[in-house]
Amino acid sequence: MSKIIIPNNLKLHDRADKVILSIEGSISDNIMLTGAVRDLKNSCPVITIDVRNNFPEVWENNPYINPIEDDDINVKKININYKIDKKVNNCPYHRIHIYRKILENQLKIDIIPGPLKGDIHLTEKEKQSSLIKEKDYWIIISGTKHNRTSKLWDIKNYQQIVDNFDHIKFVQCGKTKDNHPVLNNVINLLDKTNFRELIQLIHHSVGIICSPGMLMHLSAAIDTKIDKSLYRHCIVVAGGRENSIWNKYPGHQYLSVEGELLCCAEGGCWENTCKNNSMCMNSITSEEVISIMKKYIPKKNDFLKIDSFPKQENDIKQENVPIIPTDKSIKQHKPHQKPNTNYQIQPAIIKNRKVILANGQSPGDILMLTAAVRDLKLSHPEILIDVRTPCPEIWENNPYLTPLKETDKDIEFFNVGYSIVHNSNEGQYHFIHGFRKDIETKLNIKIEPTLLKADIHLSNEEKSWYSAIYEILNKDVPYWIINAGYKKDFTCKQWDFRRYQKIIDNFPHINFVQVGLKHDYHIHPELKGKNLINLLGKTDDRQLIRLVYNSFGVITPCSYTMVLAYSVPAHPRFKRKTRACIVIAGGREPNVWQQAPNQQFLHTCGMLECYDNGGCWKSRVVPLGDGDEKDINNLCTNSIKLQNKQIIPQCMNMISSEEVILIIKKYMKNLKYAI
C-alpha cells in the first residue's frame, strides 16, 4: 500500500465543513464505507457528510449522513475508490480501515476507529417483522458471481451440511444467475429478496454460512436480534483467494488455507479464476464446517467426546475447584528481569529527538514493540531511538536502534505499553498496533504502520550456520516446533497435554522439536516419541529465533513462539515466504487481536456464553493462592477437569487434536523441500 502521512492537530478552520463522498464500488465496498463514515462523524461531529453511490439501500436510515447539494460551493468532494491488488497481502490492517485512511489523508484529520464492522441501520418495523415464520434459522449462501469462480465451493458440501442437521432450519438466499444451485431441504428464497429484506433476514438469523463477500460483511454489520453487542455466528468458507487479515471479523470462523498451499503462501492469490483447479477451496471439507457448527450448537456432553480418549468420571465441568498449592517463588521470581524505569520523562520537543522506550513485559510483548520501533524510525528517520527491555537478544542486529544513555542531553524517556487492548474485543486493531498507538500519543507524532509482523533481524552469519537439529541428526530435515506449555499465571492458555502427544504419535515420519523454558514458573509436559527432539530449557531467545528460522512449522497456543512464527523469515530451502503455523487459541483473546497473516488460528470466540462478545481475557482456570488479584477477578467460569488431572478452559477443550492433525496433513501434502 502507498504510504500515507496524516498531519496531526489541525485547527478546525483547516478542515472541510461539508463533504460529499463518491464511491463506485460494489455493495461490499459501500458496507465498508459505512463504517468509515460512522467513525468520521463520531470523531468530528461538525462535519456534514453525504454519499454518492449506486446502492442507496445500503445507506437507508443512516444517522451519519445528511443531504448536500452538488452545487454547494462550500463542499469538498472526495472520490473514495481504491484498487485491490496483491499489495494488500502486506497491509497491516483490515479492509475497513482503508476508507478511514483515505478520509484522514483527504480531510487532514485523525479519525478514531470504532467497532470493526460496517454500519447498517434497520427501522424498528424491520427489526420487529420477519419474512419467514421460522425462528433460529441459519442463512446459507452456496454460490458466487460468475466473475469470481475462485470463491466457489462444491455444492455437494453445502448439501452435506444441510443434511447433517435435520433439526436446524436453513434459508438459502442469493440469485440463481450467480452460480447458486438450489439446495434440498431448505427454505428457498433464491431470487425472492431485495437488499432490505435480506438484512431483515440476517437480523433475525442465528448464523450464516458463506464464502467471502457481501453476506460476510453484512453478518458483522447488522446487529443481532438478541443483543447488538453479541457476535452473530458466521462461518466463512474462504479458501486462499483473499488475505484473512484483510477480511476477517471478530468472532467469525474464517476457513482459510492461506499459507498451506504454495499458490497462496504469501497471503491471498487474488485471482478471480483459479489456476490450480480450485485446490484451495477443494481442500476445505464439509466435515470442517459441520464440526464448527456442532460447537455453536452443542448437544449435551458433546465436548466430552471431542477427542477419542477413554471417558472418565472426572472429565466433567468444574464448578467448585479447590485451590492448588503452588511454589511461593512464582510471585517473586520470573525468568525475565524487568529493566530499571525510574527516569524522568523529558517533555522538551526538539528537532532531532533522542528517545528511549522502556517496557518490562514478556518476550512476546517485546516482539510487538520491535514493530513499533521499526515503524517509528521509517516514519521519522531523524529520531534517534534506543530501548530498555528484559530481552536484549531480540534486538540483536536491529538497524533502527542507536545506543543512547539516560544521562545524554535532551533524552526523552518513555514507559510504553498497549492500552488499546482494553478495546480489543471491538476489533479496531491488531496487537501489532498497540505500542505504535501509545508511542504516537506520548511523542505527539503520527506513525504510519508498515508490516503486520514483528521486526527480527538475523545476520548473514546466523543464516549460514547449521541448524540445531542438523547438529543433533547430522542432517537437515523439515521439522515442526511444538510449544505445549503455559505460564502458571496464565493457565487459561493450556490445552490437553494428551492431545499434543496424539499429534506426535499420528505422524511418526515427521520430526517435532519441543521447546519451552524449563522453570518453576512454566509448565511443560515431557512429550515422547522417536520423532521428537526435546529442547526444553535448552534455548535462549537467540537460539529459539534461529530454531524457528530453520523450521517448517510451529504448533503453539497464543505465545512468544506464535509471534516468532510469522515474524522470523522462512528458510529458503522451503521455497515459500511464510512459515506454517497452527495456533491453538480457544476463546481467551479475540481472533482479530492476535491472528496474523498465513496462520491457521483455531479459536472458539463467540461459541460460548462466557465470551460471546470477543475474548473473555480471563487468566486462570483455578486460584493459585499466591496473593495475585488474578485469583479473584480473572478466573475462568467454564472449566473442565480431565483424566490426566489437568483443568483446562472449555473453550480450549472444544478444539480437538483431529483438527490440528487435518491441518498438518494439508501443509505436508504441499511441502517442497530443497537441501
DSSP state of 367: H
Q: Which long-range contacts (CB under 8 A, 24 or more apart) does 173-177 make?
A: 173/139, 173/140, 173/141, 173/198, 173/201, 173/215, 174/141, 174/142, 174/143, 177/146
Residue ranges making up the domain that contains 170: 124-296
307-322 pLDDT tens trace: 555 444 344 444 333 3
Q: Are residues 405 and 533 in the same domain?
A: no
221-241 pLDDT tens trace: 998 876 665 778 999 999 888
pTM over 0.75: yes
Confidence of residue 331 (pLDDT cuts 50, 70, 90): very low
Q: Are residues 441 and 494 in the same domain?
A: no
Read off the C-alpha cell for 433: 498496533
Is 413 in contact with 346 (CB distance < 8 Å)?
yes
Can you give 22-78 as a three-state secondary structure string? ECCCCHHHHHHHHHHHHHHHHHCCCCEEEEECCCHHHHCCCCCCCCCCCCCCCEEEE
> Residue 639 contacts by C-beta under 8 Å, 6 or more apart in sequence?
317, 318, 321, 621, 622, 647, 648, 649, 650
> Residue 342 contacts by C-beta under 8 Å, 6 or more apart in sequence?
none
Q: Are residues 161 and 256 in the same domain?
A: yes
Q: Are residues 154 and 263 in the same domain?
A: yes
Q: Are residues 500 and 646 in the same domain?
A: yes
Is 483 in contact with 561 (CB distance < 8 Å)?
yes
113 in a domain, yes or no?
no
> Any idea of the CA torsion for 667, 669, 672, 675, to the nearest 10 degrees?
90
Distance CA 89, CA 81 (A): 19
Q: Are residues 428 and 468 in the same domain?
A: no
- Helix 96-107 vs helix 27-43: crossing angle, to nearest 10: 50
306 in a domain, yes or no?
no
264-277 pLDDT tens trace: 666 777 787 887 77
Helix residue spans in 116-178 (DSSP H): 124-128, 155-164
Which residues share a beta bridge with 532? 512
Q: What is the pLDDT of residue 315?
A: 46
334-388 pLDDT tens trace: 334 444 434 333 444 456 899 999 999 999 999 999 999 999 999 999 999 999 9
Give the closest residue to 515 by CA, choosing from 533, 497, 503. Answer: 533
What total number of domains does the chain contain?
4
Q: Are residues 166 and 274 in the same domain?
A: yes
Q: What is the pLDDT of residue 1?
A: 33
Determine which helix (DSSP H) or strand (DSSP E) holds 244, and give its type and residue range: helix 244-247
Q: Rounded mean pLDDT of 436-453?
A: 94
Q: How long is the chain?
A: 675
DSSP strands (E only) in 250-299: 253-256
Read off the C-alpha cell for 483: 510449544
323 in a domain, yes or no?
no
Q: Are residues 128 and 90 in the same domain?
A: no
Is 118 in contact with 34 (CB distance < 8 Å)?
yes
456-508 pLDDT tens trace: 999 999 999 999 999 999 999 999 999 999 998 889 999 999 999 999 999 99
Q: What is the pLDDT of residue 519?
A: 84
Q: Are residues 162 and 237 in the same domain?
A: yes
Q: How far apart are the first and last CA of the chain?
A: 35
Mean per-residue pLDDT over the chain, rounded: 86
Q: Are residues 420 and 492 in the same domain?
A: no
DSSP state of 572: G
CA 80 vs. chain centroid, Å, equals 26
Q: What is the pLDDT of residue 675?
A: 46
Confidence of residue 575 (pLDDT cuts 50, 70, 90): confident
Distance CA 86, CA 270 (A): 7
Residue found by looking up cell 511461593 in the block: 328
Determine which helix (DSSP H) or strand (DSSP E) holds 150, and give its type and residue range: none
- Selected residue with higher pLDDT from 437 and 319: 437
Distance CA 379, CA 3 (A): 9
CATH number at residue 557: 3.40.50.2000
> Residue 50 contacts by C-beta under 8 Å, 6 or more apart in sequence?
18, 19, 20, 21, 65, 66, 67, 68
Q: What is the pLDDT of residue 38?
A: 96
Confidence of residue 92 (pLDDT cuts 50, 70, 90): confident
